[in-house]
């Protein structure tokens, strides 16, 4: 894997992933578009540049980096990126949220979908699972890293803070956690629902090393994730507070909680796709 990111290529992939997200949710009139669009650059950066991973999918994950998605409702972006990076056929994206298929609304494990290590979407649990994997890597003398993505609304969950204390106490320093800090959740802004206050100061007070990044700028984001990686192995867990905009990439979806979990109409689908270049071919 090149150490220098190919930014134009990553942007092309991101455009196609956004088309996938919108088409998947529209097709079944169900799913979570807003957060998926906002995290597209993150997933593309991770799977096409940052992660040391094997799309043949080794279930025990020894010898590679591991990724966990805690806010599992943004499964459309993860499924698209997994397919586009070779974990399973891109054509399978057409089965999203249909009965008895592997691409359920929240990631599940019973159908053995490659790339999925835990069922997720019951908010607050992903960090705990990732910490367990990180400690297992230490026990196995595996120097690779564990990454986990959480939502900012998810910070309302008490289990997140229990896990945060645990990580600092046990010096789990081979993990990079990221919070999608878009300041929106299903019922409104995070400020209205339950103010998060100074989120950086809170995580620092819990013993984490915190950096901040711009999550919708591929180049800037990759630089910051590389910085986060450089801070691992020094006795502290690392948090990336990633600033994004919900719905990023589609002008009428951006910056509002309205698109957290509703599908577009036929007219809105056409409008959105008209703003996004088809770069890798639609499924």
pLDDT at 59: 85
Structure-token pair, residue 17: 């992933």
Domains and CATH numbers, the chain: 7-274 (3.40.50.970)
Q: CA torsion angle for 180, 181, 184, 186 (degrees, to 10)?
A: 30
Residue 180's beta-bridge partner residues? 151, 242
pLDDT at 133: 98
Q: Is 49 helix (H, G, I), strand (E, B) or coil?
A: helix
Q: Is 266 exposed, middle or buried (0-12, 13-18, 19+ CB in 10 A)?
A: exposed
User: Would you give per-residue pLDDT tens digits along the chain (283 residues)?
Assistant: 458 999 999 999 999 999 999 999 999 999 999 999 999 999 999 999 999 999 999 888 999 999 999 999 999 999 999 999 999 999 999 999 999 999 999 999 988 999 999 999 999 999 999 999 999 999 999 999 999 999 999 999 999 999 999 999 999 999 999 999 999 998 999 999 999 999 999 999 999 999 999 999 999 999 999 999 999 999 999 999 999 999 999 999 999 999 999 999 999 999 999 999 999 999 9
Report, in angstroms and rounded to the nearest whole number, the Rg of the chain calculated over CA atoms.
18
Structure-token pair, residue 77: 């972006």
Strands laid side by side in the 146-151 sheet: 66-69, 146-151, 175-181, 238-243, 209-214
Residue 184's beta-bridge partner residues? 189
């Amino acid at each position: 894997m090149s150490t220098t990111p190919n930014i134009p290529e990553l942007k092309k992939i991101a455009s196609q992933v956004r088309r996938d997200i919108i088409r998947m949710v529209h097709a079944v009139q169900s799913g979570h578009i807003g957060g998926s669009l906002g995290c597209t650059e993150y997933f593309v950066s991770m799977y096409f540049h940052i992660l040391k991973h094997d799309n043949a999918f080794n279930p025990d994950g020894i010898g590679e980096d591991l990724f966990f998605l805690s806010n599992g409702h943004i499964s459309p972006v993860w499924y698209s990126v997994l397919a586009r990076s070779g974990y399973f056929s891109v054509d399978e994206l057409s089965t999203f949220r249909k009965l008895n298929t592997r691409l359920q609304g929240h990631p599940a494990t019973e159908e053995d979908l490659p790339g999925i290590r835990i069922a997720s979407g019951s908010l607050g649990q992903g960090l705990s699972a990732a910490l367990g994997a990180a400690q297992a890597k230490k026990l196995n003398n595996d120097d690779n890293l564990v990454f986990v993505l959480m939502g900012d609304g998810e910070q309302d969950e008490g289990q997140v803070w229990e896990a945060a204390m645990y990580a600092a106490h046990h010096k789990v320093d081979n993990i990079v956690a990221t919070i999608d800090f878009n300041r929106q959740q299903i019922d409104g802004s995070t400020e209205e629902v339950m103010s998060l206050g100074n989120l950086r100061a809170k995580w620092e007070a819990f013993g984490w090393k915190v950096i901040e990044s711009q999550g919708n700028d591929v180049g800037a984001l990759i630089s910051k994730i590389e910085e986060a990686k450089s801070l691992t192995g020094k006795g502290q867990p690392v948090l990336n507070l990633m600033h994004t905009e919900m719905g990023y990439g589609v002008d009428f979806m951006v910056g509002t909680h309205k698109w957290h979990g509703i599908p577009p109409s036929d007219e809105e689908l056409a409008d959105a796709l008209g703003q996004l270049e088809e770069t890798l071919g639609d499924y």
